[in-house]
Amino acid sequence: MCPADVTPNPSPDLSVFADVRTSPSPIVRGEPVEVSDGVYVIPDKRVELVPNVGIVVGERAALIIDTGMGPRNGTHVLEQARRLAGDRHLYLTITHFHPEHGFGAQAFKSAATIVYNASQRAELHRKGAAYVEMFKGLSAAAAAELEGVELVDPDLVYEGQAEIDLGGHKAALRAVGPAHTGSDQVIVIDDRVLFGGDLIETRIFPIAPYFPPHDVDVNGPGWIGVLDDLIARGPEIVVPGHGEVADVSLIRDVRDYLDYVYGEAARLRAAGVSADETAAKIDEQARARWSTWERPEWIGFAARAFYAGAHR
């Protein structure tokens, strides 16, 4: 188990997440869908607090990407991985430390080799326990899934980049934070399929976990820079943290939104506009411009985060 968290509970105003309270239980469901040869996704079905889960099956080993939230989801993902991979060796990695992505990892203890980047492990230690408590406060269903959760350390830790040869498929793990979190990771399979975690969402306003003073690691310029690099690499298939699988145009869409918010936040701050007024102006304009996107409550979080960071 990870050491006790030393960061106070972020404790944001949870009333802005009212939709989570009435959404279906955050349970990973359904069959894995093959999106490329040997590369599967268990879709999130646009259920709150459920991620897209990846399973990549090679000739010798398989890699699981994200677990869902809590031990029940982790166990289900492990069962699906075993069904596809048989007795092949299993690896597990997560795109970032947030509960709905990696807090089912305890099901994989002794069943898989768990791999994180060094910053992920450190951020999990600093913030993991506080995020458990915050997510329990989102809804009774979320609290139920987190009952008995254990925060799990990795078996292997890497700096910068690591490669796992699964046999016929190669998985490149790259540490790219700070961006959405302080320790984001992308996973690229055979230079074709990108698992981007919450750096990328489909028709959902990007999640900016800005909870001052306890968690202010979201980084606008860093996030935009990561997306620029991913666009240049041109993956054929893009698996977002939440929402439907797409192509590289999805990354461009998210990048354009973040660039707009950062540019407006910097401009308004330089003009002497307050953080509250800036967030309100950006919220109104973004809702109109990206009118088909869900979860607009995240606009204000991004605006305030990028406003605070505009002087860096």
Q: Which domains does the chain have, with CATH numbers?
A: 14-247 (3.60.15.10)
Per-residue pLDDT tens, the chain, 312 aa: give them. 443 343 445 555 666 666 777 788 999 999 999 999 999 999 999 999 999 999 999 999 999 999 999 999 999 999 999 999 999 999 999 999 999 999 999 999 999 999 999 999 999 999 999 999 999 999 999 999 999 999 999 999 999 999 999 999 999 999 999 999 999 999 999 999 999 999 999 999 999 999 998 899 999 999 999 999 999 999 999 999 999 999 999 999 999 999 999 999 999 999 999 999 999 999 999 999 999 999 999 999 999 999 998 644
For 247-264, give the secondary structure using H, E and C. Answer: CHHHHHHHHHHHHHHHHH
Read off the pTM.
0.94
Joined tokens for residue 277: 């007024």
Phi, psi at 198, each rounded to 5°: -85, 15
Sheet with 170-175: strands ordered across: 161-165, 170-175, 185-189, 193-201, 237-242
Q: How far apart are CA 145 and CA 154, in angstroms?
A: 22
Sequence-distant (≥ 6) Cβ neighbours of residue 263 within 8 angstroms:
none
Interstrand relation of 237-242 and 185-189 (parallel, antiparallel or unpaired): unpaired
Phi, psi at 204, each rounded to 5°: -135, 130
Interstrand relation of 193-201 and 237-242 (parallel, antiparallel or unpaired): parallel
Q: What is the Cα 88 distance to its own chain's centre?
A: 27
Q: How far apart are CA 65 and CA 89, in angstroms?
A: 14
Q: What is the Cα 106 distance to its own chain's centre?
A: 18
For 16, 20, 112, 143, 193, the CA distances from 47, given in Å and listed in that order, are 17, 9, 27, 16, 23
Sequence-distant (≥ 6) Cβ neighbours of residue 53 within 8 angstroms:
28, 41, 42, 64, 65, 66, 67, 68, 77, 80
